[in-house]
Structure 1
Amino acid sequence: MASSAQYGSVPFKQQIDFFRSKLAMPTRTWTDLYAGEHDHGFMVAGASKMALVEDLQQSIARMIEGGLTIAQFRKDFDEIVARHGWDYKGGRNWRTRVIYETNLRQSYHAGREAQMADPELRARRPYGLYRHGGSSDPRPHHLAKDGWVIPLDDPFWDTWSPQNGWGCTCKKFAISARDVERMGLTVMEQAPDIPMVDKTIGVNGPSPREVTLPEGIDPGFEHRPGAGRVRSMSPPEIEQPLKSVPGRHFPDRGAVDALPDAQDFTGALLENGLAPEAYIDSFLKEFGATLDTPKVFKDAAGEPLAISDALFRHPGTGKLKVGKRDRARFLPMLARAIKEPDEIWVAGEFHGATDKPVLRRRYIASFMIEGEAQPGIAVFEWGRDGWAGVTTFQTDDEHIDAFRAGVRLYRRGQ
C-alpha cells in the first residue's frame, strides 16, 4: 500500500523533521524501546547492529520524504538484509509491512500533533475529532469512539491519539465549533472514564515488561506521538541567571523607561515544606500542563515555549528538583511572569565558562502581593542551555535593570 494513498503525495515538514531527528537504536526485542521512547529513537525489533538499524532508518526516511510505496521499501529491505546477513524473525511481507506502515503512520501523526499544538490553531480549532479508520475488521473499542468530539487539552488524547495499535488507521482531526455544528456532532466536556488494564508483554523475549494501559489500545501505542519532543525542548534549570554586564551583552538596549505599575497578583504563594511535586504542579497548571502532559505555550510576543516536567528534572538523573525550597514557593509568581509579563527582552550573552555567546529571553513582571509592603519582582530567563528564575521584593532599579538588556520584544499596554 502506498503511503500517498492515505497520507498525501507530499509528506510535510513536521513529519520529516520528526523522523529525521530520531537516533538509531539497536535492540534485541520490541520491548527494549517502549511507547513514548519512540519519539526519540528508531528501532526495528531484533536488529542489534548499529549499521543495520541506520540503513533501515535511511530507507524509511527516503520513503517518507519521497512518498514512496511499500514495494519500493521491500526492494531496499531485501538489499539491506542481504548486505548485513540479518536473520530476522517472521515472514518478509508481514515484517516489511509492520516496519513501513508503523513508521510512516506514527511520523505522520507526530507531525499532525506538532501542527495541532500551535496555540493559534488551538484557539480556532479547540476540539479533537476521533475517526475510525474504516477497517473491514474493526477493533470494537476504536469503532465505538468514532465521532467522539473532545477538547484537545483533555487527558483523553494523551493516550487515545492515533495510532492506537498495530495496523490501526484511525485518525484525529482538530475542528472548530462551526465544524461541530456543520457535521451534527456533539462536544463532550470531558472524556468518559476509560478502564485500565494490566498486561505483561514480551514474555517470550529477554525484556518482558509489566504495563498498564487503557482498554482497547495495543501495548506500546498508549501515548500521543511526538509528545516526548516537547519535553526534549524544555531546558533544565540552571542555578543562577546570567545577569547582563556592561560590554558582555548585545545588542545595547539604549535608554529605557521604568517598568509599568505593578499588577495585582491573584491567588496566593505556596507554603514552605511541600513535596516537590506540589510546587512543580503549581507552575505547570498555569499553562494547562501536568507532570504527565507537556504543553507548547505561545507568549505575549508570539514565541513558543515548551512547558513540561523536564524543566524540573535533573539532566543527569531525571529526578525531580525544585532548587531551594524557600524559593520554590514563588513558582506561581514565575509562571505568571511568563503568562502576563510587563516586558519581554531578548539578548545575546557571553557565557562565563566558555566565553561563547548564548541567546537569552527574559520575562519580567512586578506584582502587588497580599501581605507584602513592596511589589514582588519576578524574572524568568530562558535559553537553550537552561532556565533560571529570580524573585525579589527589593525595588532597586539597578538590580532589575541588570536583566533588561538587548532588544525589548514586548511591553504591557503597548
Structure 2
Amino acid sequence: MWAVSSDPVKFDEALAYWRARVPLTKKEFDALTAAAKTRAFTLAGVAQLDVITEVMQAIERALDEGTGIEQFRADIGAKLEAAWGATNPGRIDLIFRNAVQRSYSAGRYAQMTDPQVLKARPYWRFDAVLDSRTSPICKPLNGTTLPADSTWWESHYPPLHHHCRSGVYSITADQAQELGLTEGEPDISAGAGFGAAPGSASDWEPSEDDYPADLWKAYEKKGGP
C-alpha cells in the first residue's frame, strides 16, 4: 500500500511538479481560469509576492533536501506570521502539508501514467489511511479500483481535502481481478479546490503577456516555463 508522507524525501517527479508552479498574489490568482490555477501558487492573507515566492522556495528545499515541517517553520514561519499580523502555527503546518502532499501525489501520477507503466499496470486503486482521523470523503473510497483511464480519477485524485493522507497505486489486470473491480463510480465529491488529476491541465503554460512585469520576473527567476 502507498500513502503520502508529510516528511519529504527527494522525489524527482514531485520536485518537478512543484518547480512548475507560478507564484502569484491572491488577486492575480483569482483572475485565472480553473485550469491555470492548477499551475499556480498563492497564499490567502499574504499580499507580498516576495513572501509567497519565499514560501515556494522553502517548500522546494524540503522536497529537494528531504527536510520536514520543523525546518519549514524555521525558514518561513516568522515572515508568514508577520504578513498575517498574527501567530498561526496550524495554518503554517497546513500550507506545508498540503503543498508536499500535492507534490508527492503528482509525482506518483507522473510515474503511473508513463506509457510502459500503464501497459503493465492498467488499473489504479484508491488507498486511504484508515484510523480515527480518516475523513468522511476518503473512508468510503478506500479500495476503489478502476481502470487508469477512467474519467473518475480526473476529479478524485488525492489529495481530496486539506490534510488528506490518501494515495493511489497502480496494479496489474490480474491483481485488479483478484481484488475486485469497483462497480460504477463512487458518488462522493472532493473538497473545494481538490481532486483534479495533476495532468488534467498539462497543456497550459503561463505567458508573459498574461502577468504584470514583477510577477513574470519572479517566475523567470525560479526557472520559467
**RCO greater where, 1 or 2, for CA within 8 Å and sep 6 or more?**
2
Q: What is the correspondence of 1:208-287 to structure 2 with a 5 Å cutoff?
A: 215-229=188-202, 231-232=203-204
* 1:88, distance to aligned residue in structure 2 (A): 4.9
| Equivalence for 2:55 | 56
* 1:162, distance to aligned residue in structure 2 (A): 0.5
| Equivalence for 1:348 | none
Indicate conservation of the 8 Å contact 1:164/1:218, yes or no.
Answer: yes
Q: Does 1:140 align with 2:112?
A: no
Residue 152 of structure 2 is aligned with which of 150, 156, 163?
156
Q: Once the two structures are superposed, what CA deviation does each residue of 1:71-108 show, in whole Å capped at 9, x if it has no partner? A: 111111234347xx41256x521111111001000011
Paired with 2:34 and 2:166, the residues of 1 have a C-alpha distance of 18
Residue 191 of structure 1 is aligned with which of 184, 191, 214?
184
Indicate conservation of the 8 Å contact 2:8/2:63, yes or no.
Answer: no
- Kindly name which structure, 1 or 2, has the bigger radius of gyration based on alpha carbons: 1
| Equivalence for 1:293 | none
Say what the alpha-carbon RMSD is for the aligned residues. Answer: 2.9
Indicate conservation of the 8 Å contact 2:7/2:69, yes or no.
Answer: no
Indicate conservation of the 8 Å contact 1:62/1:68, yes or no.
Answer: yes
TM-score, normalization by structure 2: 0.79
Indicate conservation of the 8 Å contact 2:45/2:84, yes or no.
Answer: no
Paired with 1:93 and 1:40, the residues of 2 have a C-alpha distance of 26
Paired with 1:75 and 1:191, the residues of 2 have a C-alpha distance of 47
Partner SS, residue 83 of structure 2:
coil
Q: Once the two structures are superposed, what CA deviation does each residue of 1:102-146 show, in whole Å capped at 9, x if it has no partner? A: 100001111111112211111100001001122413223321111
Give 1:218's aligned amino acid: G
Q: 1:99 to 1:105 in 2, by over 3 A?
A: same
Paired with 1:122 and 1:87, the residues of 2 have a C-alpha distance of 45
Paired with 1:128 and 1:165, the residues of 2 have a C-alpha distance of 20
Paired with 1:141 and 1:168, the residues of 2 have a C-alpha distance of 10
Total equivalences in the alignment? 205
| Equivalence for 2:104 | 108
Q: Does 1:169 align with 2:165?
A: yes
Q: 1:167 to 1:88 in 2, by over 3 A?
A: farther
* 1:11, distance to aligned residue in structure 2 (A): 2.2
| Equivalence for 1:27 | 26
Q: 1:34 to 1:130 in 2, by over 3 A?
A: farther
* 1:225, distance to aligned residue in structure 2 (A): 2.4
Indicate conservation of the 8 Å contact 2:141/2:186, yes or no.
Answer: no
* 1:41, distance to aligned residue in structure 2 (A): 0.9
Q: 1:34 to 1:48 in 2, by over 3 A?
A: farther
Paired with 1:46 and 1:142, the residues of 2 have a C-alpha distance of 29
TM-score, normalization by structure 1: 0.45
Give 2:141's aligned amino acid: K
Paired with 1:22 and 1:148, the residues of 2 have a C-alpha distance of 30
| Equivalence for 2:222 | none
Q: Does 1:122 align with 2:118?
A: yes
**More off after superposition, 103-112 vs 171-180:** 171-180
